[in-house]
Amino acid sequence: MSLSWENHREIGELLFEKYDTLNPLSVRFTDMHKWIQDLEGFSGKPEDSNEKKLEAIQMAWYEEWKDEYGN
């Protein structure tokens, strides 16, 4: 599976699997950017990322986290 910055939902799910107890809203975008690039199967170029894409990924991750841990 090849992932790019457009795969918000899939990336959010993978981040939740890897960092399941971490509240995504507490994560800096700079850290998240690196973690995404380190995901197995991620092939997006670092320069193709932007704040809007990172926010979409963070919200997908947050939905997974919220379903598991509540507010």
Directed axis angle between helix 51-69 and helix 29-37, to 10°? 90
Which residue ranges make up each domain of the chain? 8-69
Q: 5 near 53, Cβ under 8 Å?
A: yes
Reported pTM: 0.94
Distance CA 36, CA 55 (A): 13
pLDDT digits (tens, 9 = 90+) for 9-40: 999 999 999 999 999 999 999 999 999 999 99
Cα–Cα–Cα angle for 46, 2, 6, rounded to 5 degrees: 55
How is domain 8-69 classified at the architecture level of CATH? Orthogonal Bundle (1.10)
- Helix (H) or strand (E) segment spanning residue 32: helix 29-37
